[in-house]
């Protein structure tokens, strides 16, 4: 019933910007944690940024100062503003949402591709 849809990925040059969106539907509850993860070919999925219901944020060291996660109040929707993109940011970016009564690992979106050329 719960579905997460990511959008906003694309191909950009180093130093460029993208804004990713994640909209969740089908949940009876507002989230208590949402986050962005990314996975590059041959690598493990890693946390990029997260935000909680009390608006506490957390970022991977590699993106601090460049990426910003935000939410829409009262909705299961989050964004990831990505500035000063680097080739090493190239990956599929996935949205995750944890809600009351939901699975411990949360729900996942299908991912959106971000490619940064050099």
* Contact call for residues 33 and 24 (beta carbons, < 8 A): no
**Model pLDDT, residue 55:** 86
pLDDT exceeds cutoff 90 at 118: no
pLDDT exceeds cutoff 90 at 96: yes
Q: What is the residue-averaged pLDDT of the chain?
A: 96
pLDDT exceeds cutoff 90 at 20: yes
Q: What is the pLDDT of residues 39-89, one digit of tens each?
A: 999 999 999 999 998 889 999 999 999 999 999 988 999 999 999 999 999
Share of the chain above pLDDT 90, in %: 89
Q: Could you give the CA distance from residue 1 to residue 117 in angstroms, rounded to a whole number?
A: 37
Angle at 70 between CA 9 and CA 49, to 5 degrees: 70
Q: Check the CA dihedral 98-71-111-59 and report its sign.
A: negative
Q: Could you give the CA distance from residue 32 to residue 29 in angstroms, rounded to a whole number?
A: 9
**Model pLDDT, residue 114:** 98
Q: Which helix (H) or strand (E) holds 6?
A: strand 3-7
């Amino acid at each position: 019933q719960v579905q997460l849809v990511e959008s906003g990925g694309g191909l950009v040059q180093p130093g460029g910007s993208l804004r990713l969106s994640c909209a969740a539907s089908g949940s009876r509850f507002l989230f208590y944690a949402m986050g962005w993860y990314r996975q590059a070919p041959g690598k493990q999925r890693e946390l990029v940024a997260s935000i909680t219901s009390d608006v506490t944020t957390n970022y991977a060291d590699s993106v601090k100062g460049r990426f910003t996660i935000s939410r829409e109040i009262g909705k299961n929707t989050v964004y990831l503003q990505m500035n000063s993109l680097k080739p090493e940011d190239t990956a599929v970016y996935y949205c995750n949402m944890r809600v009351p009564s939901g699975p411990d690992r949360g729900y996942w979106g299908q991912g959106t591709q971000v490619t940064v050329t050099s």
